Amino acid sequence: MGHNPDGVCAQRIRALLHTRALGRVLTVLCETASTNAELRARECAVHGETVIARRQTAGRGRLGRRFESPEGGLYLSVMLRGYAEPGQVTIRAAAAVHRAVLSVCALRCSIKWVNDLLLDGRKVCGILTEGVCSPQTGRLTGAVCGIGLNVGAVFEPPLDKTAGSLPAGVDKNALAAAVLCELERCLDEPFDAVLRYYRAHCPMAGQDVTVRPSGLPPYEARVEGIDDEGRLVVVRGGQRQALSSGEVSLHRED
Ligand code: BTN
């Protein structure tokens, strides 16, 4: 059997895991359409059940976008059952991945509200949290938190201005285990403590942005900060608004 020392391997991840629930049921697939879709289709998936793929053929991003997921990256989804605050999951996950990248790769990303991690201003990680409903009752039964990290990827112009990657050679098994450990910790922590960490690594306050609310025309605003519910507070024409979703692009990126 071929052995790929750089490859994601369930046995190695298990050996590094110190979690109570996350990743205790773990499947590593060579390929799947989307780890989020795979896990959402598992009606009996338990809390913490995790699917990791070496590549995705139809990786999903926020706002219906595609998430390019070639071999080499780390694509991981976790089932969260009975979690009281599904609306906080993406913020908690961003803080968790930030901590994991810092501890495993010794790299300090910045967080771009709400769900992106940037390295030198380029996106290296995206997070997509999706609700899961019972097909019988239609009621919400959980949430799947999907995390995609670019590793060793090289982007051609013009994408190379906005898309970045963790270096090739990152230990993806250590990174996957650290993401799961930190995610469990960030889900358990009081939200104000998570927000303190998130704000400290999300340097958007004072920046000019374009806000693209879904279905409405874009507008310019200045970021004031992140409120206690994790919403982005922007000021537009003297009026303060708290955004809980939507797309925001930084002007400084140009
Ligand atoms: C975004 O940046 O818009 C979110 C991207 C989320 C991608 C991850 S990769 C693992 C999981 N499976 C998916 O299909 N999407 C998420």
What tens digit of pLDDT does each residue of 144-195 get? 999 999 999 999 999 999 999 999 999 999 999 999 999 999 999 999 999 9
Sign for the CA dihedral angle at 103, 106, 110, 114 comes to negative
Which residues, in sequence order, are CB contacts of 5 under 8 Å at separation 6+? Answer: none
Q: What count of other Cβ atoms lies within 10 Å of the Cβ of residue 246?
A: 17
DSSP, collapsed to helix, strand or coil, labels residue 210 as strand
User: What is the 129 CA–ligand 1 centroid distance (Å)?
Assistant: 8
Q: What count of other Cβ atoms lies within 10 Å of the Cβ of residue 202?
A: 24
User: What is the 61 CA–ligand 1 centroid distance (Å)?
Assistant: 5
Does residue 254 register a pLDDT over 70? no
Which atom of ligand 1 lies nearest, measured to the CA of 148? 9
- What's the whole-number mean pLDDT along residues 76-89? 91
User: What is the 238 CA–ligand 1 centroid distance (Å)?
Assistant: 35
Does residue 215 register a pLDDT over 90? no
Which region among 56-65, 137-146, 243-252 has the lowest average model confidence (pLDDT)? 243-252
Cα separation of 189 and 101, whole Å? 19
pLDDT band at 36 (very low <50, low <70, confident <90, very high): very high
- What's the whole-number mean pLDDT along residues 13-26? 98
Given this model, what pLDDT does residue 171 score? 97
Does residue 94 register a pLDDT over 50? yes
Q: At 91, phi and psi to the nearest 5?
A: -65, -45
Query: Prior bond to 135 cis, omega within 30?
Result: no
User: What is the 67 CA–ligand 1 centroid distance (Å)?
Assistant: 6
User: What is the 107 CA–ligand 1 centroid distance (Å)?
Assistant: 21
The residue to which tokens 């913490």 are assigned: 48
Which atom of ligand 1 lies nearest, measured to the CA of 125? 2
- What's the whole-number mean pLDDT along residues 200-213? 96
Percent of the chain at pLDDT > 70 equals: 96
Percent of the chain at pLDDT > 90 equals: 88
Given this model, what pLDDT does residue 2 score? 42
Ligand 1 neighbour 75 (Cβ under 6 A) = yes
Which pair of structure tokens corresponds to residue 243?
A: 């955004």
Ligand 1 neighbour 146 (Cβ under 6 A) = yes
Does residue 106 register a pLDDT over 90? yes
Which pair of structure tokens corresponds to residue 128?
A: 């997509």
Substitution site in 36, 159, 172 for ligand 1 pocket (most atoms within 8 Å of beta carbon): 36
Substitution site in 67, 69, 127 for ligand 1 pocket (most atoms within 8 Å of beta carbon): 67
